[in-house]
Amino acid sequence: MAARAERSCGLWALLLLGGMFAGVLGTSPEIKTQVTGVAGKLVLTCNMSASTTAIDGHEWVHGEKVLQTDSKSSSVTSYTIEGKMEEHSGLYECIYKGNPVVKGQVNISVPPQVVPYKKSEHGNEGDTGVLTCKSPSFPPVSSWVWYKNGQEPIVNGSGRYIIKSSGNKTELRILKLNIEEDTGDYHCNATNSQGYGGATVNLRVRSRLAALWPFLGIVAEVLVLVTIIFIYEKRRKPDEVLDDDDGGSAPLKSNATNHKDKNIRQRNAN
């Protein structure tokens, strides 16, 4: 009984192995991919082995964009990028044209390359402050954390904080901004499978009055001018009545009185 069970087990294993082998042969040939960085350049390479069909050419694709195309029949194809991995992270595909078409995937994976929407944000006392960080790099960010002035991580929903994170973007909202409590440096920290990266955003909170200063300045200026004119007028009036010898130096007097004065003077002269 035991021996038979063993034999049947071995048979199953053999069948399974055979099936796997057939699977490898029957499906797409194996493509080895590689990324090498040499002298500020990135070389992406695909190497197809065990190809049974003819190759009519190659194509390199990134997203919707065709980067390079040729009609060579070699099993090895490469694409060169000028620059650093951090600037060109993403999913690249090498396509072997023919029947069937065979595709290989080359990933340029980097830790999150975090950039703040603005390095410094301003908010008015009492308003809602919004700080934003983004990471355009591949692979996408798996988690975002916000810190304030190197303290404990900010917990979503605690105090006046609300955090909204969606894929490659995070937003920290601070409700009812307070000058003493909220002014300072905030740090956003992103993590993906390759590591982490962060950025700092400085928040300045202005008092409500500060926003009004230019307006208040104008109001004060007008008040001072009006007061000066008023005082000047009050002081000047009694003087004018006393020494009104020459009518020319009294521009504030009406023309009618000037005329009367002149007439009187003329009559006196006559």
Ligand X SMILES: *[C@@H]1O[C@H](CO)[C@@H](O)[C@H](O)[C@H]1NC(C)=O
Where do contacts with ligand X occur on this chain (CB under 6 A)? 32-33, 47, 49, 76, 90-91, 105, 107, 136, 138-140, 147, 156-157, 162-165, 167-168, 187, 189, 191, 196, 198
How many C-beta atoms lie closer than 10 Å to residue 261's C-beta? 16
Tell me the closest approach of the beta carbon of residue 3 to ligand X, in angstroms.
42
Q: Which CB sits closer to ligand X, 81 or 165? A: 165
Tell me the closest approach of the beta carbon of residue 48 to ligand X, in angstroms.
8
Closest residue to ligand X using C-beta atoms: 167
Q: Which CB sits closer to ligand X, 157 or 248? A: 157
**For residue 104, which of 160, 177, 48, 186 has the smallest C-alpha distance?**
48
Tell me the closest approach of the beta carbon of residue 81 to ligand X, in angstroms.
15
Q: Which CB sits closer to ligand X, 10 or 167? A: 167
Q: Which CB sits closer to ligand X, 159 or 167? A: 167
Q: In whole angstroms, what is the distance from residue 162 CA to residue 184 CA?
A: 17
Q: In whole angstroms, what is the distance from residue 145 CA to residue 152 CA?
A: 10
Q: In whole angstroms, what is the distance from residue 55 CA to residue 52 CA?
A: 9
Residue 50, class by beta-carbon neighbours within 10 Å (0-12 exposed, 13-18 middle, 19+ buried)?
exposed
Tell me the closest approach of the beta carbon of residue 164 to ligand X, in angstroms.
5
Tell me the closest approach of the beta carbon of residue 162 to ligand X, in angstroms.
6
Type of residue found at 201: V
User: Helix (H, G, I), strand (E, B), or coil: what is residue 264?
Assistant: helix
Cis before residue 136, ω within 30 degrees of 0?
no
Q: Which CB sits closer to ligand X, 54 or 212? A: 54
Type of residue found at 104: G
